[in-house]
Amino acid sequence: MEAGARIEICLEEAVASASSKPCPPLLAKAVHYAIFPGGARVRPQLTVSVASACGDADSSIADHAGAAIELLHCASLVHDDLPCFDDAAIRRGRESVHALYGEPLAVLVGDALIVEAFNTLQRGCQRDLNKLGPLVSCIAGAVGMPGGIVAGQAWESEPKINVHQYHRAKTGSLFVGAVAAGAIAVGEDPQPWCPLGQFIGEAYQLADDLFDAAGSAEESGKPVLQDVNNGRPNAVAKYGIDGAMKRLKETVGNAVDAIPDCEGGEELRSLILAQATRLVPSKLAKSAA
Amino acid sequence: MEAGARIEICLEEAVASASSKPCPPLLAKAVHYAIFPGGARVRPQLTVSVASACGDADSSIADHAGAAIELLHCASLVHDDLPCFDDAAIRRGRESVHALYGEPLAVLVGDALIVEAFNTLQRGCQRDLNKLGPLVSCIAGAVGMPGGIVAGQAWESEPKINVHQYHRAKTGSLFVGAVAAGAIAVGEDPQPWCPLGQFIGEAYQLADDLFDAAGSAEESGKPVLQDVNNGRPNAVAKYGIDGAMKRLKETVGNAVDAIPDCEGGEELRSLILAQATRLVPSKLAKSAA
């Protein structure tokens, strides 16, 4: 079975188990809405691709670790959209969770998804207990304190923001976690894989900045010009569109160069380069062509 | 070392590790504030007491599992106090986290504590990997969906509330988790222990209702009459003060009768009866004496 389909099955299993009796019906509906239909599932695809590049093309642990990371990514989107943060009414081209289900359920959906992510890891590791501890540690580091996405979001509450740490924690950490989890899932040392995750995280941050400054709301699935309007750091404001595009290209190059020697390295390289074409707003892709 | 001191050390270790560089300073402060100084640490004490009653008086895994449960309890208090839920400005006799640090940091503190709880479990099980999976599963069930505290809180968003499920999930589930985790930590089957957790949870719910209806804000550390003012189900409204007191006494009796046969059963029985005296507002304790 293709990796994308396996990830969706893991996500469906997690939601079905979480939504079974006696779950309050609206919470179950809101959790389902937060996860399906998903975006590109970039992070879990990365986890599974790294596991595959290491030589294990059908790792159930990698599938579950990828699904756990996607649940955490969805949790962070739901909480980031809350009125006290971005106050975003639109996400993935439709109403955000709090806009549709109200703020209390949106807070609880995020909380429940964080819990369910760790439960999904546990389910994935039932036949290989040695991997659960390292995976919990890796993924907790990617989402929690001191340098995960929660810490990244918290930089916005500081009187003085550390922009490097902010981006590294808010966007980069979960990519590093996704890559490292793929290596751990198949018994490889995750350390040599971390630079790949860091570069991919930087590329996605640059892409996000480019879409915010030069993309359309339709293409992004969310309002644009949010960084400008909220005075948040943005690479386009700093380097201009051409400068940000140049940096994006360099960063994708750095990412593929950072792939460690491994069985499926060439395939992973092609996959990352193919995905990178989606990182540029279509308007800019045309003008760059 | 006494159990209470060991639990505090586990909590301090968790906060120190989470707050290390590059953690944003305000997030670190707010997380510390949410945990220290704590309340009675009833749930982790219960975890450690059950492990001890099973014959292991010095279980590092039970200490860590108890600390994880306390982190989750603190997370639930911080999120429950948010403006979109109880909008409580006071907790444990001082400003609530969102009142002092603002709503964005309060959301992030709760999220970070949930993540750190699972990381604490992982740290506690590094020398005994077999226990991590069952502990993650047990504790995820106690806090998440379909029947943990998050699900309990979500009943408040339903058009029709299932009061039994509401209390069972919102208050009872973490006590069941605390008791079951104590058994798992020392390699015992958790199932026979669950009724004890359920009865203790019911006793705490009755106590909470009694404090809300007949306690003082000073004694409770939070505003009273919240259930009356918010139209929430409350045992005193249903059974009257005398009726609720009678039920509390019966429930504590059921709890101690539910202790499974074990080495330290008599000691656990005395401990629970001693703690139960604190479940009654002093005003009622005097009139009942």
Mutate to test the interface with B, among A145, A153, A158 (most CBs of B within 10 A): A145
The two structure tokens encoding residue B209:
């209702």
From residue B24, alpha-carbon distances to A80, A100, A129, A174, B171 in Å are: 17, 32, 33, 17, 32
At B218, which amino acid appears? E
pLDDT band at B280 (very low <50, low <70, confident <90, very high): confident
Preceding amide of A37 cis, omega within 30? yes
The ipTM is 0.96
Distance in Å, alpha carbon of B283 to nearest chain A alpha carbon = 35
* Weakest-pLDDT range from A26-35, B162-171, B278-287: B278-287
Q: Which pair of structure tokens corresponds to residue A225?
A: 């010009």
User: Which pair of structure tokens corresponds to residue B118?
Assistant: 């699972």
Q: Searching chain B, which residue's CA lies closest to the CA of residue A120?
A: B137
Residues facing B90 on adjacent strands: B95
Q: How far apart are CA B38 and CA B40, in angstroms?
A: 7
Tell me which residue in B108, B118, B141 faces A154 most closely, judged by beta carbons: B108
pLDDT tens for A162-190 read: 888 899 999 999 999 999 999 999 999 99
Is A116's CB within 8 Å of B140's CB? yes
pLDDT value of position B219: 81
Cβ neighbours, 10 Å, residue A187: 16
Q: Are A191 and B139 in contact (CB under 8 A)?
A: no
Instruction: Name the residue type at position A212.
Output: D
User: What are the structural domains of chain A?
Assistant: 3-288 (1.10.600.10)
pLDDT at A225: 84
AA letter at B70: E
Q: Strand, coil or helix: what is B29?
A: helix
Assess contact for B202 and B194: CB atoms under 8 A.
no
Kindly state the average pLDDT of the residues B20-25: 96
pLDDT digits (tens, 9 = 90+) for B204-219: 999 999 998 888 888 8
Radius of gyration of chain B (CA): 18
Predicted confidence (pLDDT) at residue A288 exceeds the cutoff of 60: no
- Residue A227's pLDDT band (cuts 50, 70, 90): confident
Report the gap between the CA of A216 and the closest CA in chain B (Å). Answer: 28
* A148–B115 CB contact, under 8 Å: yes
Minimal Cβ distance to A158: which of B26, B140, B146:
B26
User: What pLDDT does A229 receive?
Assistant: 81
Whether residue B289 is predicted with pLDDT greater than 70 in this model: the reply is no
Per-residue pLDDT of A93-122, as tens digits, reads 899 999 999 999 999 999 999 999 999 999
Helices (H), chain B: 3-18, 25-35, 42-53, 60-80, 97-101, 103-124, 132-143, 149-154, 163-167, 173-185, 194-214, 217-220, 226-230, 235-257, 265-276, 282-288
B112 vs A contacts (CB less than 8 Å) = 144-145, 150-151
Structure tokens at A85: 């943060």
Residue A68 dihedral angles phi and psi, to the nearest 5°: -60, -45
Contact state of A130 with B133 under an 8 Å Cβ cutoff: no
CA–CA dist B50, B265 (Å, integer): 9
Strand partners, A94: A91
Query: Is A136–B147 a contact, with Cβ atoms under 8 angstroms apart?
Result: no
pLDDT band at B288 (very low <50, low <70, confident <90, very high): low
Chain A residue closest to B23 (CA)?
Answer: A146
Chain A residues whose CB is inside 8 A of the B86 CB are none
**Quick one: pLDDT at residue A287?**
62
Q: Is the pLDDT of residue B43 over 70?
A: yes
- The CB density around residue A60, as the number of other CB atoms within 10 Å, is 17
